[in-house]
Amino acid sequence: MRVVVSGGGGFLGSHLCEALLRRGDSVCCLDNFSSGRSANIARLMPDPRFECVVCDVTERFRFTGDADAVLHLASPASPADYERHPLETLAAGSRGTENLLRLAERHHARFVLASTSEVYGDPLVHPQREDYWGHVNPVGPRSVYDESKRFAEALATAHRRTLGADTGIVRIFNTYGPRMRAHDGRVVSTLVRQALDGEPLTLFGDGGQTRSFCYVDDMVRGLLAMLDSRRPGPVNLGNPVERTVLELAELVLLATGSDSGLRFLPLPVDDPVRRRPDIGRARAELGWSPRVPLEEGLRHTVAWFAAERLAARPAVGRPT
């Protein structure tokens, strides 16, 4: 297939592009690199089956050739990014989704929307199933991301019902792994960076809030399974093993060998207290479940961050 991946230069998008090429597909990556990095896809550029179009999917962009599938990942996705770029985040979920839906429809292509567990907000139901409507503050500090994805889901569903578009929706829970940005504000990257730098690890509240961490390789398998299906979704993709953020910090200290201490700060407004997916639908409809334990995934992630820090150090010249 020829697959269009919006946001293909990002953390998750670059891994997805790589996996598509590995299985024999060709890829057209669309990215304006506002939060993605060209370094993420540098190794893919020599492949004749890979093309990168630098563009903003919320605006008119030039696309040539065929498309058999469209995967829409383009959006600021970390709190630091969508707090800095609220209007761009809303545009990615609205105009960006519309533009890519139209592209898929012109080519009679499968369209998969990468939505998020944030559509559940600070959930009152636990674990979260796809039939739960969520508990979201529409004017809170996280609303630009939460509501942009909720609107994108509604838009994809309306195109399916009204125009017969072949759409699928996945709701992605916390994903981590190599190529995360050190200062993106996500909990795994923040704690790993702080531990490697010998800084106190920042925890909010008492660290008792929970998340479910899914390694990037597992998430990519789930996205490919959704792409290859004809299921409309929404389908939760995430790790059903629930961990407290304090537990995560302890595992990061173990994986890095750091003796950093812990620093506790007030819990941010609207920060979810508990988050865990029910993945029964993913198991039944896609045959998918995560395989990589958190301890193993953290080892790979820490190794990548450590290598990046080493590569960034200035070369020391020999004395003359």
User: What amino acid positions are annotated as catalytic residues?
Assistant: 145
Contact call for residues 243 and 210 (beta carbons, < 8 A): yes
Q: Which residues contact 293 (CB under 8 A, 6 or more apart)?
A: none
Contact call for residues 210 and 222 (beta carbons, < 8 A): no
Give dist(CA 134, CA 55) in Å, integer.
33
Q: Please tell me whether residue 132 adopts helix, strand or coil conformation.
A: coil
Alpha carbon 143 to its chain centroid, in Å, reads: 17
Contact call for residues 194 and 138 (beta carbons, < 8 A): no
Phi and psi at 66, nearest 5°, equal -95, 165
Partnered with residue 210 across adjacent β-strands are 244
- Range 1-22 burial, b when 16+ CB lie within 10 A, else e: bbbbbbbbbbbbbbbbbbbbbe
Q: Report which residue type is found at 72.
A: H
Q: 207 — alpha (psi -120 to 50), left (phi > 0) or beta?
A: left
Q: Which residues contact 3 (CB under 8 A, 6 or more apart)?
A: 20, 25, 26, 27, 28, 67, 68, 69, 70, 71, 227
Give dist(CA 199, CA 216) in Å, integer.
26
Give dist(CA 186, CA 191) in Å, integer.
9
- Tokens 């819990």 belong to 267
